[in-house]
A = this chain, B = another copy of it.
């Protein structure tokens, strides 16, 4: 029997890390100009006519949508597991809350450090980027959920957010790639990082019968799916340039997502036994169109281009669930609980390629001279870039992301393999009872039926753990 007692380990790690956050925030983090009480003075000096010019009003509605996606969207998406609802929503809540704090520091050091005073200046855009980082962690969580302890999740978050900021710095700042909706930065990185970890944590005797849903849990999962689907246009436009870029990113994502739904359901019905639709595909593959526009959403992809991307990514994602996942588990020993390879991995890679091609195909005719410079940032160091060169850098960015995610995942995977992190035994995976105080409930008599093939709890012991 493994020792899954969290009494000392979990509280200590939480206390120490939170204390570290307080100290580091104290040393480094301050409000940016637009969140500072001096702003109204600055505003008048700069002759900014309206308080609305504060970036807050350009980005706050999108920020709230992204915020909902990270905590409700990803949290509830994973509640499809019949006996891991608390862990899905609760652990996602825990690691995302840590990740956003650590991300404000890591991303700040790399992107918004004010060298004049050595401080990181944060505003609403920093909050969005921190949430993006947490989204990437939530994606990786989807691969290992049910098989790891909260401590392992916190350690994974710490390393992932760190490496996320490094990767983001290399591809956006050094290579000058564009990735507003994070097809590479968020999805590809999160997916392959998580998949590498779950590969290393492979469990031979995993009881896959518990990695399943029940009727109610599938409905809870749909809450997550729908909020992800609905707010994805905000996700892909949240940090785009003001005006037409945000506007365009929303239209493209809206179209792409709509077409993914039809295709996911069509393929589900076509390949499933008796032509019945599988909720797993509705819960996941319908979102592929959002992932696949993560890079190109703000570009002049055109609405029909978006529909095509939505169709292809939705098809790849659904077929991945049906055919690829079983093969990955059988031959590569990758136990991908939520199928993130199908939802974030492949559609993310597709999104990076779509972005590279769309960038390479950009012309002055379509964007206008100014528009081209603004859309791809052909200024300063990148002033002499052409769209086709930009396309090359986009492709390079994908390669860097793949390397860092797999490499980083390998290192972290071996760290998490150490025996003292309190992970559950194979037969107790996907069981909330291991880490959560679970109420005795009306279904208990039935639920105990399941536990009879589970050393951990007998109906009676089950009873008194829960008084």
Contacts and interface: CB of A to CB of B under 8 A. Distances in A.
B251 A122 contact: yes
B56 A53 contact: no
A203 interface: no
Nearest to A441: B214
A325 to B, nearest CB: 16
Interface string A69-90: 0011001100100100110011
A258 B442 CA distance: 34
Contacts of A64: 61, 65, 230-231, 234
Q: How many copies does the complex hold?
A: 3
Nearest to A229: B71
Interface in A221-250: 222-223, 226-227, 229-231, 234, 242-248, 250
Contacts of A372: 37
Contacts of A26: 302, 304
Interface stretch (A136-144, A394-402, A406-414, A443-451): A443-451
Contacts of A65: 64
Contact of A18 (B17, B248, B263): B263
B439 A258 contact: no
B286 A93 contact: yes
A75 B261 CA distance: 15
Contacts of A438: 215
A435 B18 contact: no
Contacts of A258: 97-98, 100-101
Given A67-B230, A371-B37, A54 B213 contact: no
Nearest to A17: B262
Contacts of A51: 58, 242-243
B18 A244 contact: no
Provide the main secondary structure of the chain A interface: helix
Q: Which of A41, A43, A222, A374 has the most CB of B within 10 A?
A: A222
A265 B14 contact: yes
Interface in A409-467: 435-439, 441-443, 445-447, 450, 465
A442 B435 contact: no
Nearest to A70: B230
A94 B261 contact: yes
A169 interface: no
Contacts of A435: 276-277
Given A100-B258, A127-B250, A307-B21, A52 B54 contact: no
Contact of A267 (B11, B104, B275): B11
A266 interface: yes
13 contacts: A8-B270, A10-B269, A25-B255, A25-B307, A31-B248, A37-B248, A52-B58, A54-B247, A64-B65, A64-B231, A71-B226, A82-B441, A150-B265
